[in-house]
Amino acid sequence: MPADARSVGDFSPREKWHHEFDILGIAMQQHPMALIRERLRREGVITAAQAAKSRSGRRAKVAGVIIRPHRPPTKSGRTVVFFTLEDETGMLDVTVFESVYQRCGKAIFTQPIVTAAGRLDRRGAAPPRDSEGRRTEATMPALFTPSKVEGSQSNGRHANDLGGSSEPSTPASLTADSVV
């Protein structure tokens, strides 16, 4: 092997992740959120695991890969969006009501990774409520296969629904007042 070939350094963790995802269509070694966790921590963003251990009613910022965003029909005709955020520590259900959706809805359906801020609700605590005091809850088990993450090429794959469940998919949820 030529001497100059041995002096070439290894790929950075981010480059390895991008190559792995581009070739395999899935990240096997490292979750994409792990690549940006330190920056998120400095910005006050907590992990899904930290959210699950936080007290109900606490305001928090969380970030992750969006899994299965959907707008089910409601009796009132108002827009409510449910999705799950997945990070390297777990998942967190997020509920977005109409007023927030009007301001932030585009990010939910166009960005593979978002930061959501709002009020945390833990399972077993008082259920999440909308601005009119009505109970809300999301139940969304899902499988993660991102279509793109921070500059990787889109391969057309999207989150894949595994079917319904009567159990909540995460131990905590966030009622968002912003999504970016």
d(CA 41, CA 21): 24
Where does 1-58 have alpha helices with state H? 3-6, 13-24, 37-42, 48-53
Query: What is the predicted pLDDT for the residue at 3?
Result: 60
Query: What is the predicted pLDDT for the residue at 108?
Result: 92
d(CA 72, CA 162): 17
pTM of the model: 0.66
Query: What is the predicted pLDDT for the residue at 41?
Result: 95
Task: Considering only residues 152 and 83, tell me which one the structure prediction assigns the higher pLDDT.
Answer: 83
Residue 133 has pLDDT above 60, yes or no: no
Q: What angle do CA 28, 31, 36 make, to 5 degrees?
A: 145
| Pick from 66, 68, 63: nearest CA to 34 | 63
Q: What's the pLDDT tens digit per position in 83-123?
A: 999 999 999 999 999 999 999 889 998 988 899 999 999 76
Residue 158 has pLDDT above 50, yes or no: no
Assigned fold of 10-179: OB fold (Dihydrolipoamide Acetyltransferase, E2P) (2.40.50)
Query: What is the predicted pLDDT for the residue at 159?
Result: 32
Q: State whether the Cα torsion 120-125-126-127 is positive or negative.
A: positive
Structure tokens at 51: 């959210």
Percentage of the chain lying above the pLDDT 90 cut: 41
d(CA 62, CA 84): 11
Structure tokens at 128: 């999440």
Residue with tokens 């910022």: 61
Task: Considering only residues 157 and 27, tell me which one the structure prediction assigns the higher pLDDT.
Answer: 27
